Amino acid sequence: MTPTDGVNLVPFTLEDSEVLTAHQLFFCVVPLSSCIIHRHRGDTGIMRMTALRLITTAVLFSSSAYAQSRQAPPGMFKDLDDEIAGGAAIVRGAQLFVDDVIIEEMSGVEKSLHQPIKYEGNPILVRDKPWEDSGPGYGTVHFDVDENLFKMWYSVWKQGKEPSTAYLCYAVSSDGIEWTKPIIDDGHNTNLVQQPDLDGFQCPGIFKDLRESNPNRRYKMLFSCAPDGTSKTWMSSIAFSPDGLTWQASDDPAVIPFSDTQLCPFWDQRQQRYVAFLRFGPPNTRIISRIESEDFLHWSPKVTVLRKTKMDDPMATQFYQMAPFPYGNYYFGLIAAYHNETLKQPTTDSPWTDRKNLQLAYSRNGVTWSRVGKNGTIPTRELNDDKDWLPIAQDAIFLPYGEKDKDWDWGTVSPYFTPQPIIVNDEIWMYYMAQNGRNWWTYTGDPPKFDPDAKEPDLGVGLAKLRLDGFVSIDAGDTEGTLTTKPLIFLGDTLEVNTNAEGGSLLVEALDEDGNSIEGFGKQQADPISSDHVRHVVRWNGDADCHLLQGRPIRLRFHLKNSKLYSFTPRITLNHYLQSYD
């Protein structure tokens, strides 16, 4: 090999002051064909070496060996397979305690259902336009992320119209509280949208489909109608809109069997299906059914998901409608629970007569649903047991009607549909319609006593707020109690808890598969939490990094005293970079 072979030779000189260690000499061994050694006259025994790739080879060999000997910090790398995982549940996102799926044991604690707090300034929207004959009726509220705007579609009934028919109105808000009714119908100077041109239009449910590629179908609606103007053709149909203001019904309106209360459709990201909840029928009966679709054009037959049980006997409860919304790993539904249908006046023993309040339904899969009571979900198998159901039913009220002849919503309360949960300042905002008169006020004569000139009850839209994840909590009193989870696996490095431990304490302990405290993550090492926050970071000995717990079956044990625990969430908040080479 010569310099004329096209290879650049890089010379270096080994001076008297430079000494090669045994380690360096070992890694300087290179193929003889890669070296050209010259002894220059005049040098005092100093060898000058010209080496091809000598330095590069030595560095690579040395670094590689060092990297192979580097020890990663404990817990940085783990194996995980079905044998290791066993029956442990892999969890992501907020873990709630509405049901018992992740709960292994509770000692000295109990569950509590929480009610949303009604906004003091209710009602936030009322009938105040000449074209608003009667209402507001069924409605949808949506927060548009793209426009940073709250949008409301609400219906008002056309008086004296047969078959019953509604107008669809539109309102907007920058904060979800102060609403305006923009003029969108320039021809008539109203806030009426251009609704599907079919007789008997009513019960619309609307959502914005962010995955839709056709701009003319960005907004979707299910509604009911009677195309020939008589009850003979009652049906439920679909419509599309580019902006939510101008709607076009599908070519064939006969799509879904008639539902005479609001239809509530949304795109279920987890199931990759369009889903809708509506009334059973025909003939229409006050129970809740579910349908689904792959294209919003063809819908499955109805499946009944909630029906009357013995729990509903004491107050003769029926289900007017259910407004569902997906929530993280779960689904919730706001049920308009209608009690004791009769034209008789309420008695002291049955103040709920001819009135509606809201109950809560819950699901992990969006298909099978549970009723939620004072202590969380009530097993379906128990709903027809013989027991004293009246106190259980009363404790299951999620949003109550107001005080008779005092509050604006004392008569009936029904949910507004929110296709996605609306979360503002770590609160879940829920909208509802209500009136200061009973359901059949038209027959019983219920204009409020404090307004004797009123010809009908005042209707309006209200707002209620619930703490983030605040549906059901685990509560402990003066004596410390514990909740222990079933085996679970998470991937991450941080645990957050949503808790109100103000005036008390909460400690988190990690246990191994055998129930033993894991070193460094025991109760004694846990930093106590003693304040109220939806995102407390759990620490042990002042350190929040719990990656040593990830990727392995563990149990979490929560020690509570004078505190409420709403949820816990595994998070990924740190970087775990390892230097490959020095």
DSSP strand pairing (412-415 vs 427-435): antiparallel
- Say what the pLDDT of residue 163 is: 84
Shared domain check, 191 and 160: yes
User: What confidence tens digit (pLDDT) does each residue in 63-94 have?
Assistant: 444 445 577 888 889 999 999 999 999 999 99
Looking at the structure, do residues 207 and 225 belong to the same domain, yes or no? Answer: yes
pLDDT value at 108 more than 50: yes
pLDDT at 3: 40
Residue with tokens 């009136």: 435
Regarding beta strands 488-489 and 89-90, do their DSSP bridges make them parallel or antiparallel, or are they unpaired? parallel
Domain final residue pick, 69, 91, 106: 69
- Answer yes or no: is 48 within a domain: yes
d(CA 581, CA 332) in angstroms, rounded, equals: 51
What whole-number distance in Å separates Cα of residue 582 and Cα of residue 579? 7
Query: Which DSSP string do the residues of 297-313 spell out, in sequence order?
Result: SSBPPPEEEE---GGGT
What is the per-residue pLDDT for 30?
40
Residues 163 and 273 in one domain: yes
In a domain, 582, yes or no: no
Q: Is the pLDDT of residue 258 over 50?
A: yes
Position with higher pLDDT, 385 vs 231:
385
Residues 218 and 321 in one domain: yes
Q: Which two tokens stand for residue 168?
A: 């669809």
Asked if residue 110 and residue 136 are part of one domain, the reply reads no
pLDDT bucket at 29, cuts 50 / 70 / 90: very low
353 and 218 within one domain: yes
pLDDT of residue 6 exceeding 80, the answer is no
At 230, which CATH number? 2.115.10.20
Q: What is the mean predicted confidence (pLDDT) over 138-163? A: 93
Residue 77 lies in a domain: no
Residue 579 belongs to some domain of the structure: no
**Tens digits of per-residue pLDDT, 259-311?**
999 999 999 999 999 999 999 999 999 999 999 999 999 999 999 999 999 99
As a whole number, the mean pLDDT across the chain is 88
* Residue finishing a domain among 417, 443, 467: 467
Strands (DSSP E) contained in 436-480 are 459-467, 472-476
Reduce the DSSP state of residue 441 to 3 states and report it.
helix
pLDDT at 208 over 60: yes
- Both 33 and 181 in one domain: the answer is no
What total of structural domains would you count in the chain? Answer: 3
- Tell me whether residue 370 is in a domain: yes
Domain co-membership, 185 together with 143: yes
Please answer whether residues 482 and 108 qualify as being in contact, where contact means their C-beta atoms are separated by less than 8 angstroms. yes
Does 427 lie in the same domain as 513? no
Residue at 442 is within a domain: yes
Q: Residues 45, 132: one domain?
A: no
Q: How far apart are CA 380 and CA 385, in angstroms?
A: 10
Q: HSE of 102 in the Cβ direction (CA atoms, 13 Å)?
A: 25
Contact 437, 447 (CB under 8 A): yes
Task: Tell me, yes or no, whether 537 lies in a domain.
Answer: yes
Q: For strand 488-489 and strand 110-113, is the pairing parallel, antiparallel, or unpaired? A: unpaired
Residues 433-448: pLDDT tens digits?
999 989 988 777 665 5
Same domain, 313 and 457: yes
Q: 248-249 and 202-208: which strand pairing?
A: unpaired
CATH code of the domain containing 534: 2.60.120
Q: Indicate whether 308 and 421 sit together in one domain.
A: yes
Assign 184 a pLDDT band (cuts: 50, 70, 90).
very high
Residue at 531 is within a domain:
yes
Could you say which of 401, 435, 467 is where a domain stops?
Answer: 467
Domain extent for 206: 117-467
More confident: 330 or 452: 330
pTM: 0.87
> Residue 236: enclosing H or E segment and its boundaries?
strand 235-241
